[in-house]
């Protein structure tokens, strides 16, 4: 990218450096539960991809206990992070068609539809890896689509209020300038892609597809999870920790 340029969420330049730590990272504690109370802090973090040499992000437990990398095995390349030995690194590819460097011209609704129709077992395999004792970091490249689907399903299973799930998904719009700058600086996105590309947005119709498939499944989210190979006992134990913020 142009030397010394980064981008704000609105798409304009705002500082003279690309962000030195993940730009779309947040702790998912404090979300309202349908039954009352809130989710616990320090249990689940979502993020765009961390890179070698990054500074530790502020405001989240770091390093996490478990890192759940949703990219396919070819994506990180030389940009793979060497985590400390105490960090459990798990690779779970949840979609063969969601690589941001290959889908810049595709509609998000088509990508999400394919992920949900053909990859239910991949999605539950990732959820089965959530840490029962420490902090789980879920990330892909932008922390928006693959991460967004996994996190939304986890929140549904935990009973987070629907409007809070949607707001969390769309919150990436606030951080997309930094995400875009980091992706482009590391050549993780096709040349010529602009910050206004549809692939970098968080449209309501995309997250609605996740609700339709999972919450709309006969019997609800837990029936969907069980039907697609989810480890119900394991995830119930994780949910108990995540709901302990009330």
The span from the CA of 220 to the CA of 59, in Å, is: 33
Residue 190 counted as domain residue:
yes
Both tokens of residue 197?
């590309």
What is the 3-state composition of the chain as percent helix, strand, coil, each rounded to the nearest 5? 35, 10, 55
How many domains are contained in the chain? 1
Both tokens of residue 169?
């998904």
Q: Give the CA distances from residue 158 to residues 56, 118, 135, in Å, rounded to whole numbers and listed in that order.
A: 28, 24, 16
Structure confidence by residue, pLDDT tens digits, 133-183: 999 999 999 999 999 999 999 999 999 999 999 999 999 999 999 999 999
The span from the CA of 50 to the CA of 188, in Å, is: 12
Residue 16 counted as domain residue:
no
Residue 108 counted as domain residue:
yes
Residue 8 counted as domain residue:
no
Residue 36 counted as domain residue:
yes
Span 58-81, mean pLDDT?
A: 92
Residue 15 counted as domain residue:
no
Q: CB within 8 A of 113, min separation 6: which ones?
A: 209
The span from the CA of 204 to the CA of 89, in Å, is: 31
pLDDT of 86 reads 97
**Looking at the whole model, is its pTM more than 0.85?**
yes
User: Domain span at residue 202?
Assistant: 26-242
Of the candidates 95, 67, 51, the one whose C-alpha atom is nearest the C-alpha of residue 188 is 51
Structure confidence by residue, pLDDT tens digits, 187-237: 888 888 888 888 889 999 999 999 999 999 999 999 999 999 999 999 999
Residue 3 counted as domain residue:
no
**Nearest 10 degrees: Cα torsion 227, 90, 41, 81:** -150
Residue 222 counted as domain residue:
yes
Of the candidates 159, 121, 169, the one whose C-alpha atom is nearest the C-alpha of residue 24 is 169
Contact by Cβ (8 Å): 130, 168: no
Q: If pLDDT is split at 50, 70 and 90, which confidence band does 1 have?
A: very low
* 3-state class (DSSP) for residue 19: coil
The alpha carbon of residue 205 and the mean position of all alpha carbons in its chain are separated, in whole angstroms, by 17
Residue % of the chain over a pLDDT of 90: 76
pLDDT of 121 reads 97
Instruction: Give me the helix-helix angle, 172-185 and 162-170, nearest 10°.
Output: 30
CATH code for the domain of 187: 3.90.190.10
DSSP per residue, 110-123: HHHHHHHHH-HHHH
Asked if pLDDT for residue 4 goes beyond 70, the answer is no
């Amino acid at each position: 990218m142009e030397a010394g340029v980064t981008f704000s969420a609105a798409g304009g330049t705002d500082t003279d450096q690309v962000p030195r730590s993940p730009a779309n990272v947040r702790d998912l504690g404090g979300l309202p539960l349908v039954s009352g109370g809130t989710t616990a802090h320090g249990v689940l973090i979502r993020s765009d991809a961390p890179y070698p040499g990054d500074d530790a992000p502020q405001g989240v437990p770091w390093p996490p206990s478990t890192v759940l990398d949703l990219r396919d095995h070819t994506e990180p390349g030389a940009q793979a992070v060497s985590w400390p030995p105490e960090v459990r690194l798990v690779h779970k590819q949840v979609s063969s068609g969601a690589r941001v460097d290959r889908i810049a011209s595709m509609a998000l609704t088509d990508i999400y539809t394919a992920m949900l129709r053909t990859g239910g077992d991949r999605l539950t395999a990732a959820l089965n890896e959530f840490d029962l004792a420490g902090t789980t970091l879920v990330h892909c490249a932008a922390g928006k689509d693959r991460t967004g689907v996994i996190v939304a399903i986890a929140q549904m299973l935990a009973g987070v209020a629907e409007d809070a799930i949607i707001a969390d998904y769309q919150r990436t719009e606030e951080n997309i300038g930094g995400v875009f700058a980091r992706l482009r600086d590391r050549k993780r996105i096709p040349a010529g892609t602009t910050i206004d590309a549809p692939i970098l947005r968080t449209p309501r119709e995309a997250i609605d597809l996740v609700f339709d498939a999972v919450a709309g499944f006969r019997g609800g989210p837990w029936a969907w999870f069980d039907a697609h190979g989810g480890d119900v006992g394991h995830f119930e134990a994780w949910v108990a920790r995540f709901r302990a913020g009330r």
